[in-house]
């Protein structure tokens, strides 16, 4: 079961933030959910619902909600960041005045910052002067299923043994298994790259290429993930686990995946603009594709599937053209080539 009723602040009241706040409250913790909109806060406190996300799932009366970020940071030692990746730096800056070396921050956001190519943990470390201990929670978890208390599992990466053990106690339950890791880089890269591969899988489904093609894309996606991940300091074992192949399989096949659903529409012939209503949320893989393309070029890593998705999303290449280019590549040699770090340039 959970911890000894710790005070935990969840930053971001989207579907995943709300689901994790619900999980933490079920585990006996005192949870405050920070909401950007006052209407969401009122809905949670008066109707015990988050009608914008997970509208049909009741929330416990013990769950707190606030629009005062400074208050949540000040009152909670453990902070769970669930804002979209492109808002992470903005939120970190706002949190800074209240942050101390007693804080622990758990990062849920899956993405790589554009232009700087920083991981989310690097943004927090930079903006918060390396004061708090950092952890990353990732894995094959759809928010709705976690909120419904269906069996799920994830990996929690933290370099600090004491903080990692404490966090495992907070999140772990009979219905939500938490595995431990110290590989923050690998866990974050797996969570970002899988979004791009999931778009490719959706494109294949939209083009009706068959289950063989989907399986091959997922398998080769793991190879691309491992190549870039190890070049950046991640562990091969991480990409074979929950935050690597586990998260990829879910996102590349599940009908609750925004990235897969986007790819499916693209494969059916819709334009990128057609796939997103005005003001609607953009799948993380659209932004991730740019950052991953730049990282692959920086580290001189071959990632043909991710490159094909980047070209479809951002360079006007059609899905048919991208597929043909993939199929015309030279015959492959090794199935799971991972670069030898000892021979790579600095």
Residues annotated as part of the active site: 194
Beta bridge partners of 79: 9, 105
Query: What's the rounded Cα separation, in Å, for the pair 340 and 311?
Result: 28
CA 218 – CA 212 distance, rounded (Å): 10
Q: How far apart are CA 331 and CA 70, in angstroms?
A: 56
The answer to whether the CB of 87 falls within 8 A of the CB of 112 is: no
Residue 157 sits at φ, ψ, to 5 deg, of -100, 125
Instruction: Give just the sign of the alpha carbon dihedral 28, 33, 38, 43.
Output: negative
The partner residues of 152 in beta bridges, in order of sequence, read 176
Q: State how far Cα 345 lies from the chain centre.
A: 29
- Residue 204 structure tokens: 């294949």
Q: 177 CB contacts (<8 Å, ≥6 apart)?
A: 151, 152, 153, 154
Contacts 24+ apart (CB under 8 A), 47-54: 50/13, 50/18, 53/13, 53/14, 53/15, 53/18, 53/143, 54/15, 54/18, 54/19, 54/143, 54/144, 54/147
Angle between helices 184-206 and 319-327 (to 10 degrees): 110
């Amino acid at each position: 079961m959970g911890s000894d009723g710790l005070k935990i602040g969840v930053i971001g009241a989207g579907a995943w933030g709300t689901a994790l706040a619900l999980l933490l409250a079920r585990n006996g913790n005192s949870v405050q959910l920070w909401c950007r909109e006052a209407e969401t806060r009122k809905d949670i406190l008066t109707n015990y619902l988050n009608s914008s996300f997970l509208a049909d799932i009741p929330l416990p009366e013990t769950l707190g909600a606030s629009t005062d970020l400074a208050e949540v940071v000040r009152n909670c030692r453990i902070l769970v960041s669930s804002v979209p990746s492109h808002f992470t730096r903005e939120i970190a800056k706002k949190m800074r005045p209240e942050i101390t070396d007693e804080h622990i921050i758990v990062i849920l956001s899956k993405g790589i910052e554009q232009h700087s190519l920083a991981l989310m943990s690097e943004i927090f470390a930079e903006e918060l002067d390396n004061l708090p201990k950092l952890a990353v929670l990732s894995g094959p978890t759809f928010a709705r299923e976690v909120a419904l208390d269906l069996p799920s599992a994830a990996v929690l990466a933290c370099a600090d043994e004491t903080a990692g053990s404490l966090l495992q106690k907070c999140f772990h339950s009979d219905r939500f298994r938490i595995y431990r890791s110290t590989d923050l880089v690998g866990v974050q890269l797996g969570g970002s790259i899988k979004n791009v591969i999931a778009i490719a899988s959706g494109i294949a489904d939209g083009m009706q290429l068959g289950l063989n093609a989907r399986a091959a894309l997922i398998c080769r996606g793991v190879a691309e993930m491992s190549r870039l991940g190890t070049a950046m300091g991640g562990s091969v074992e991480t990409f074979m686990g929950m935050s690597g192949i586990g998260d990829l399989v879910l996102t590349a096949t599940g009908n609750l995946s925004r990235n897969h659903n986007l790819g499916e529409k693209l494969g059916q012939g819709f334009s990128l603009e057609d796939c997103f209503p005005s003001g609607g949320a953009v799948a993380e893989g659209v932004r991730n594709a740019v950052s991953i393309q730049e990282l692959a070029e920086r580290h001189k890593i071959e990632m043909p599937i991710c490159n094909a998705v980047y070209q479809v999303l951002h360079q006007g290449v059609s899905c048919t053209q991208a597929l043909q280019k993939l199929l015309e590549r030279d015959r492959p040699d090794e199935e799971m080539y991972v670069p030898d770090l000892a021979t790579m340039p600095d």
